[in-house]
């Protein structure tokens, strides 16, 4: 599994090169069963896998035409895209919207009604597959597990980069993997 490989890789690297402390590695090993359980729950959901962007935010949406003309919208930078649960993209998307709007988050939780309305608008096309509360729960699962795919995307992006550049980005592979240790309460 990619999580195990990434954990082993970071556990063997020095901290100053983006590695993990022994305590961080041991704690991540302990959360592995919970992570795997969330992944299994997502996989068993009635929402089928699809091609999902996984990095959808305002810098990856181009709108060269008139604001009223939706046909001119272009989504760019598909480098992090994958076949997976379509709610996986909600980690980057909601985080980006919250950041740009100056909306504070409580861990992975957002209490701002604007973000919750956006989340629910995204979920509306899936409402024939299950109820709104289950859909919201699944977004929470996808956001809680999505940090591993974000870490893997950064690993790919920086594989040939010099250590100085990786440090400039504050070791994002480690940072995203450590997000698994953040409290999780289910819903966004």
* Mean pLDDT on 23-50: 95
Whole-number pLDDT of residue 12: 97
Whole-number pLDDT of residue 104: 76
User: Tell me: the pLDDT tens digits for 64-104?
Assistant: 777 677 788 888 888 888 888 999 999 988 988 888 888 87
pLDDT > 90? residue 62: no
The candidate with the shortest Cα–Cα distance to 182, out of 127, 107, 106, 97, is 107
Long-range contacts of 182-186 (CB under 8 A, 24+ apart): 182/107, 182/108, 183/107, 183/108, 184/107, 184/108, 184/140, 184/144, 185/107, 185/108, 185/109, 185/140, 186/137, 186/140, 186/141
**Stated pTM of the model:** 0.86
User: Tell me: the pLDDT tens digits for 4-16?
Assistant: 999 999 999 999 9
Whole-number pLDDT of residue 108: 63
Grade residue 53 by pLDDT with cuts at 50, 70 and 90: confident
User: Tell me: the pLDDT tens digits for 116-175?
Assistant: 999 999 999 999 999 999 999 999 999 999 999 999 999 999 999 999 999 998 999 999
Whole-number pLDDT of residue 15: 96
Whole-number pLDDT of residue 105: 66
Whole-number pLDDT of residue 185: 59
Q: Which domains does the chain have, with CATH numbers?
A: 2-181 (3.90.1200)
Whole-number pLDDT of residue 106: 62
Distances (CA, A) of 183 to 3, 106, 179, 180: 19, 9, 9, 8
């Amino acid at each position: 599994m990619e999580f195990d490989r990434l954990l082993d890789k970071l556990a063997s690297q020095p901290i100053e090169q983006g590695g993990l402390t022994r305590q961080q590695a041991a704690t991540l090993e302990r959360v592995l069963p919970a992570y795997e359980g969330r992944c299994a729950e997502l996989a068993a959901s009635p929402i089928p896998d699809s091609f999902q962007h996984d990095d959808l935010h305002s810098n990856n949406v181009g709108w060269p035409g008139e604001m009223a003309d939706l046909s001119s919208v272009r989504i760019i930078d598909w480098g992090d895209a994958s076949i997976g649960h379509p709610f996986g993209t909600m980690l980057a998307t909601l985080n980006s919207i919250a950041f740009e709007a100056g909306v504070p988050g409580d861990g992975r939780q957002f209490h701002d009604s604007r973000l919750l309305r956006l989340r629910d608008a995204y979920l509306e096309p899936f409402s024939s597959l299950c109820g709104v509360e289950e859909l919201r729960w699944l977004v929470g699962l996808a956001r809680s597990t999505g940090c591993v795919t974000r870490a893997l995307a950064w690993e790919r992006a920086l594989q040939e980069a010099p250590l100085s550049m990786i440090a400039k980005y504050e070791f994002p592979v480690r940072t995203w993997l450590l997000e698994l240790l953040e409290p999780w309460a289910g819903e966004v």
